[in-house]
Amino acid sequence: MSSDPAVLLDVDGVFNLARFRSSRNRDRLIREGWFHRRPSDPFAGDRLLMNLPRARAAAQALVETGAELIWGTTWGAAANDYFVPLLGLPKVLRVAPVNFELSRKAYTVIPWLEGRPWAWLEDQEGELAAAVAMTGRGVPRCPVLVSPDTGIGGEHVAVVNEWLGSL
């Protein structure tokens, strides 16, 4: 595997905020123009609720970093089907493996990276802590906690850009 840095992207709580909104709040956001849809895929039982301009701007800024973007999400390959077109990403992304029998994505994602430097945009603090703990000594890492209240934004991309510039 490459030694170039990887930028791992979670979906729920980072791009898709549906799970974190009350129905009353969700209705208000839809009226304000947030993108809303129920996926037809039975795997993707969650609704999609996204502030598309904010999410697209962040996704485009991440593409412009030149780092390889990789899905680090339980959506797996379905992330490519739903989120690549919605976010205007130029290509399908590789998908880091996730073992659903384990309690954390990091338990399979970090070993899969084989010592590669990583940044991970994730909404679960425990997931990021597990990823940091599993990363080998001296391997650059940049855990970026994204609030599911707001989702990804320019401030998160700035952290990744600063980290990439320090490598």
Per-residue pLDDT tens digits of the chain, which is 167 residues long? 568 999 999 999 999 987 666 677 777 787 777 887 766 655 555 578 889 999 999 999 999 999 999 999 998 998 998 899 999 998 999 999 988 778 899 999 999 999 999 999 999 999 999 999 999 999 999 999 999 988 999 999 999 999 999 99
Distance from C-alpha of 91 to C-alpha of 51, rounded to nearest angstrom: 21
3-state secondary structure at position 12: strand
Nearest to 156 by CA among 39, 9, 5: 9
Find out whether 114 and 6 touch, Cβ atoms under 8 Å.
no
**Counting Cβ atoms within 10 Å, is residue 100 exposed (0-12), middle (13-18) or buried (19+)?**
exposed
Find out whether 136 and 110 touch, Cβ atoms under 8 Å.
no
Residue tagged 């412009």 (tokens): 64
Q: Is the Cα dihedral 35, 38, 42, 44 positive or negative? A: positive
Q: What is the second-level CATH architecture of the domain 6-166?
A: 3-Layer(aba) Sandwich (3.40)
What pTM was computed for the model? 0.89
Structure tokens that stand for 74 in this block: 């339980």
Distance from C-alpha of 64 to C-alpha of 51, rounded to nearest angstrom: 20
Find out whether 128 and 29 touch, Cβ atoms under 8 Å.
no
Find out whether 76 and 65 touch, Cβ atoms under 8 Å.
no
| Residue 156 phi, psi (nearest 5) | -75, -40
What's the pLDDT score for residue 39? 62
How many helices and strands (H and E) does the chain possess?
6, 7
Find out whether 96 and 71 touch, Cβ atoms under 8 Å.
yes
Find out whether 148 and 13 touch, Cβ atoms under 8 Å.
yes
